[in-house]
Amino acid sequence: MGFLRKYFGIIVVLVLSFWAIKPLFVPGFFPMHDDTQVARVFEMGKMLQSGMFPVRWVPDLGYGYGYPIFNFYAPLAYYVGGFFTLLGFDALIATKIMMLVGIILAGIFMYLLAREFWGELGGIVSSLFYIYAPYHALDIYVRGDVAEVWAYGLIPLMFFGFYKLYQQLSIKNDLPPIISNFKFQISNFYVWKWVVVGSLGYAGVILSHNLTAMMVTPFITIVILLYCFIAYRNKKLFIIYCLVFTILLGLMLSAFYWIPALLEMKYTNVLSQIGGGADFRNHFICLGQLWDSQWGFGGSAQGCIDGLSFKIGKLHILLALAAFLFGANQFLKKKSEGTLIIGFSVLGLLVSVFLMLEISKPVWEAIPAMAFFQYPWRFLLLVSFFSSLACGSLVFFLTKFKVKPYFTAAVLVFFVLFFNTKLFAPQTIYQKTVADYTNERALKWVASRTSDEFLPPDFKKPKSEHEIAENPIPFEETNIQKVANLISLLGIVIMTVGIIKLIRR
């Protein structure tokens, strides 16, 4: 009984996430926009088995010449998938497990974050709204964007780590507010624990999906700057040092990936992905599509009629609005941490919505790096995060009107399951085996044609499958990659030494 009581929320989230992952248990596989997932997992497992780490190069993609895909395309999810192939699972099953784990992590980490503000039941509500957000279903069963699915799951962990770190550092009677004690603070068990969680969360988002990391970094920066401002006013400068150290540690842990990806991108054809059919100017969405748009399995097009849906979810919109009204009413009576979280969530939601509409075009044109996002509707990921976090607050606020929290939570969970579980289904199931995705033609021709943007700019693509290479080009790490590896290794050493010291104490 003690175990059930302690882990009640997580158990409920795991059980009720069943409908989100149910199609992954069906034999065969389903079509998706990025239909290279099994091939990538297979190649990752193959290179891990050969002893390469970190994996940057795969031998069969790139039309048989070899291809540095994991030097540029965020690799974390594929390390997980590749690990399961080492355990004996075939690449198709490993791909399903990889996707399943990403979905489950979204629910668990959102629960942990939202529970801090809304209590256990509010955490469950936010978690299930996050799992069953329409954009989450779109990413999994329409787009097949596994990297973004994993980033979606790790965003709450990142915010959770930084919040808990700041909370621990702010305990007046535990941590004396003087700079000379910084060494003591960072060696304190609870402080170091959350330094590790925050840095792993941030590094995890970077390693899961670089575009999501670009998208979410301004928001976490705002949070940290706010924490630093409060710390500065209270003359607790060690808090600033700890927060900055956590960010730097996260960057160090992920440096083996992001440093080469940035510095060596000029040697690839990735800039060809900007403009043309993926020009952001052609993919702004109409306001009405956020309220309701027909569910489909097609592509994004210019105008208000697309082949796939960009709806936020009516429940998410209405409940986020209700949370804002309750929060504003509570704020007028008494400022509290809960009302500030609601304010931050609604502000983040509105900014994200703004960036999806054509009215934000001047912002996109003023910041050249935003062109890499290609599709403004990618910000639905953050809309889903902020709206789901806000939805759980209704359990918290309605208790002030003497509404039973279990009743509120049960009603909200019922409605999100009733209306949104139907979205978590593929268009169809193909009775394919792993061999259909990992035979020589599938790897060297089909998968290579789907994703070849990281080949050299002057590479002449084969015109037929008869022109593919028989043997891959040998791979050697560059000096940039070696330096990046050393930086990440240093980050791992720092984190490991700290953990060992804590265990010995």
pTM: 0.95
pLDDT at 348 exceeding the cut of 70: yes
Q: Which of 50-54, 59-63, 126-130, 447-451 has the lowest mean pLDDT?
A: 447-451
Can you tell me the distance from the alpha carbon of 207 to that of 235, in angstroms, rounded to the nearest whole number? 35
pLDDT one-digit tens code per residue, 255-311: 999 999 999 999 988 877 776 778 899 999 999 999 999 999 999 998 899 999 999
pLDDT one-digit tens code per residue, 191-244: 888 999 999 999 999 999 999 999 999 999 999 998 888 888 877 777 888 899
Three-class secondary structure of residue 29 per DSSP = strand
- Nearest residue to 72 via CA among 206, 236, 223: 206
Quick check: 57 and 475 in contact, CB under 8 A?
Answer: yes
Can you tell me the distance from the alpha carbon of 206 to that of 194, in angstroms, rounded to the nearest whole number? 18
pLDDT of residue 469: 86
pLDDT one-digit tens code per residue, 391-418: 999 998 998 888 899 999 999 999 999 9
* AA letter at 451: S
Give the length of the chain.
505
- Which region holds residue 450: left if phi is over 0, alpha if psi is between -120 and 50, else beta? alpha
pLDDT at 334 exceeding the cut of 80: no
Can you tell me the distance from the alpha carbon of 403 to that of 276, in angstroms, rounded to the nearest whole number? 54
Instruction: Name the one residue in this structure whose structure tokens are 């808990």.
Output: 164
* AA letter at 215: M
pLDDT at 505 exceeding the cut of 70: no
pLDDT of residue 375: 95
Instruction: Name the one residue in this structure whose structure tokens are 């910084």.
Output: 182
pLDDT one-digit tens code per residue, 450-492: 888 888 988 888 988 888 988 888 898 999 999 999 999 999 9
Instruction: Name the one residue in this structure whose structure tokens are 């031998």.
Output: 59
pLDDT of residue 176: 43
Quick check: 110 and 388 in contact, CB under 8 A?
Answer: yes
- Which region holds residue 316: left if phi is over 0, alpha if psi is between -120 and 50, else beta? alpha
Can you tell me the distance from the alpha carbon of 228 to that of 220, in angstroms, rounded to the nearest whole number? 12
Can you tell me the distance from the alpha carbon of 425 to that of 24, in angstroms, rounded to the nearest whole number? 9
**SS3 annotation, 76-92:** HHHHHHHHHHHCCCCHH
pLDDT, the chain, mean: 91
Can you tell me the distance from the alpha carbon of 435 to that of 173, in angstroms, rounded to the nearest whole number? 62
* AA letter at 365: E
- Which region holds residue 275: left if phi is over 0, alpha if psi is between -120 and 50, else beta? left
Cis bond leading into 54, ω under 30°? Answer: yes
What sign results for the dihedral spanned by CA atoms 215, 276, 451, 70? negative
What is the full DSSP assignment across 436-447? HHHSHHIIIIII
pLDDT one-digit tens code per residue, 215-225: 999 999 999 99
pLDDT one-digit tens code per residue, 15-39: 999 999 999 999 999 999 999 999 9
What is the full DSSP assignment across 42-75? HHHHHHHHHT-SS---BSSTTTTT-B-HHHHS--
Which residues, in sequence order, are bridge partners of residue 29? 430
Q: Which two tokens stand for residue 329?
A: 């009413």
Of the pLDDT bands very low, low, confident and very high (cuts 50, 70, 90), residue 188 is low
- Nearest residue to 21 via CA among 121, 123, 124, 106: 106
Q: Which two tokens stand for residue 331?
A: 């704020």
